[in-house]
Structures are given as structure tokens and as C-alpha cells.
Amino acid sequence: MKRSLFSVLVAAVCVVPLAAPAAPAAADPSSADPALTLDTETLQTPSMSVVPEPSGEAMPKLDVPSEDCSDCVAVTFDDGPSDETVRLLNILRDMDAKASFFVIGTGAELRPGILRRMLNDKHTIANHSRNHPPLSTLADAGIMNELDVTNADIKDAVFWGPRWLRPPYGDMDARVASIAGSRGLSLAMWDVDTNDWQHHNAATSCDIAVDQSQPGSIILLHDIHTESVDAVPCIIDGLRAKGLRPVSLDEMIPEPEAGRTYTNKFTPAS
């Protein structure tokens, strides 16, 4: 009887499939923070589908609320992700506000967990180049490399490529727009510049953002500056007091035209 039972157990073990050994995870400075773990339910929502190859192909159109967005504004942040970005994401979460993040490729590669948090929280993730050069000064091949590598960095982090590009310094020409369009990217400029990188003053950034914003505005900030993140609660409250609603760029402009430049929702630059 014992011999028979042993034989059964051995046979049972033999038919259990063995899982392949997991590949070692890449080092991620943000992965130790539970707030940055990827919510797999987000990846399964019907409002998104995996971007097909090539990696530079733009994110598919997202299902956005059908409600009127005539009161929407887009608060956007350049140059991250940084050490300040997680704090900013927490503020936006607590205030139930959405934003858009134009990320540097090198930062996206180093901090993919922060991009996953952006995705989980339903913010827009967009391309701000790999190394932050003035794109119009580069040859075509250089522009392509800056955009393509950053698209790949973003896709490596969140499985989708971006739909938006903001050229560093706002520097662009017809070549940049054409190359961006060939990658399915629309260009997002701005009509409200807080100049936060110059004055480093939270109150000043808030005053500019709130006073100059109107329906459809795109507001420019940088999430690499502590004072800029400090300004966000004031900005969100101030915009709402004016009857404006901070949303992601994908919600405010759900069907942008590839290669076209937008300074705000209602008056595209080209």
C-alpha cells in the first residue's frame, strides 16, 4: 500500500508543469514604493489596447467621458520624472485632478515605476525627447533618434507609446512637425507659460496659471522644481474657482491630428 501511494505521488509531481524561471527584474528606484506598483486591472480596461509594432506608433485613441469638455484645461509638466513627481502624483490623486507629463527619455528609463503610476492614475504620458536638445538644430536622423528612443523608453515602461510630443524649449520647425507626424505624434505647445523655471516661486506660478487660463488652455509647468509642485494645490483650487476643470490632454483633445501643433484646445497653431 505504501509503495502504491508513493508511485501515485511521483506520477502526480511529474505531470505538474514547471514554470519557466522568471527573468531578473531591472533595477527601478521607485519599485520599492507600493504606491508605484502596476495595477493590472488598468491594463485590461477596454479603453486601451496594446500598441502594435513599431514601438514608435502612437497610443490608440482612448475612450473618454462623453460629457462636454468646454470648461476643460490641461495642466502639463515637462522634464520629469524626478524626485518631485511622486509627491505631485499624490497631490493630484488627493485632489481628484488629472494632468499630462512630458517625460525625458533618460528619466523614463531610470524611473519606469513612476510612469506606471501615471498610467494607473489616468494621466497623459507624452514625449519630451531623450536628451532635451533643441530639435530644430538637429539633422533629420537626430530628430528621429530623439523621438524614437523616447517612444521606446515610454513603451518599455507602460506597454504603450505616446500620442503627444512637446519639443524641448518649444523649439520646432516644419521638419520637426513632419517627423513627429510620421510617428503618429501631435505637438502640444501652450498658451499659459508660468515661467516657473525662472522665478521658482509657488505663489507666482499659481497666479499666472489661474489668471491667464481660459477654457481650453494648456498650462506649462515643470515637475523637476519643488516650488512648481508646491504651487499645484493652489492652481487646482484656483482653476476650479473660475469654473475650469483640470483634465488630461487626452481627455481635452481626444482626437488630435498627427503632426499638427496645438497651443490650446480651440486654436491649434497649425
What is the three-class DSSP state of 101? strand
B/e letters for 61-71, b = 16+ CB within 10 Å, e = fewer, are: ebebeeeebeb
The one catalytic residue among 128, 148, 191, 222:
222
Q: Which of 69, 152, 162 is nearest to 123 (CA)?
A: 162
Angle value at C-alpha 153, between 77 and 38, nearest 5 degrees = 75
CA dihedral (243, 247, 249, 251) in degrees, to 10, reads -100
**How many whole angstroms separate alpha carbon 165 and alpha carbon 141?**
17
How far, in Å, are 74, 93, 131, 153, 249 from residue 264 at the CA level?
Answer: 8, 24, 26, 27, 10
The partner residues of 97 in beta bridges, in order of sequence, read none
- Residue 106, Cβ density class (10 Å: 0-12 exposed, 13-18 middle, ≥19 buried): middle
Q: How far is the C-alpha of 16 from the C-alpha of 80, rounded, in Å?
A: 46
Measured from the Cβ of residue 184, the count of other Cβ atoms closer than 10 Å reads 21
The answer to whether 146 and 133 are in contact (CB under 8 A) is yes
Our answer to whether residue 132 is catalytic in this structure is no
CA–CA separation, 189 vs 104, rounded Å? 16
> CA-CA distance, 48 to 158, in Å (whole number)?
12
> Does the annotation count 171 as an active-site position?
no
Catalytic residues: 78, 222
